[in-house]
Structure 1
Amino acid sequence: MEWIPIVFVTFKVLVLGIGMFFAIKWHYDQGKKHKDKQKEMRAVLRAAGKVAVIFLLALCGLGLITYFLVKQTGLDMSMP
């Protein structure tokens, strides 16, 4: 049996495990530090929601305009 895959897989698992531990710890510490900034987070989420709604409305409008233009020019839109 070759030893290289065993060493590399063990090393990979060890490095990824340590990285995941420190990533979770960092996010947990950041969450404790920024509890007083929840109002700012709500404002950002509200703004992001507004942008998403505007994007979806623009997308629906573009779809309707395209549909009516295709119908008016007589292009075939039937499904095969």
Structure 2
Amino acid sequence: MDWFPIVAGAFKVLALCTGMFYAIKWHYDQGKKGKAYVKDKRALLRAGGTVAAAFMLSLLGLGLVAFALLRMLGNDLSFP
């Protein structure tokens, strides 16, 4: 059983190196194509802002629900 960590480690390194190679190659090929896929910068920024706003609202909602649940269960939430 002493050979298993060596074989598993070698397989892991090989798989990660192969994945990194193809990821770098894909990004390099996308860069050679140019920026034809970004046609409307305003729409891209609007979509990014919408996603960020939705994330912040869901984070705020989760915090409020957690605070209300902890208060309902009787936890002491006051600062010392």
Count of aligned residue pairs for this structure pair: 65
TM-score (norm. length: structure 1): 0.56
C-alpha RMSD over aligned residues: 3.4
Structure with greater helix share of residues: 1
Structure 2 CA distance for aligned equivalents of residues 64 and 53 of structure 1: 16
Runs of 5+ consecutive residues of structure 1 not aligned to the other structure: 1-8
Structure 2 CA distance for aligned equivalents of residues 49 and 34 of structure 1: 22
Determine what percentage of the aligned residue pairs are the same residue: 10
Using the TM superposition, give the Cα deviation of residue 53 of structure 1 relative to its aligned residue in structure 2, in angstroms.
Answer: 1.1
Segments ≥4 residues shifted beyond 6 Å: none
- 2:31 counterpart of 1:25: no
Give 1 or 2 for the bigger CA radius of gyration.
Answer: 1
TM-score (norm. length: structure 2): 0.56
Runs of 5+ consecutive residues of structure 2 not aligned to the other structure: 1-10
Using the TM superposition, give the Cα deviation of residue 30 of structure 1 relative to its aligned residue in structure 2, in angstroms.
Answer: 5.5
The residue number in structure 1 matching 2:45 is 42
- SS across alignment from 1:64: helix
- 2:64 counterpart of 1:65: no
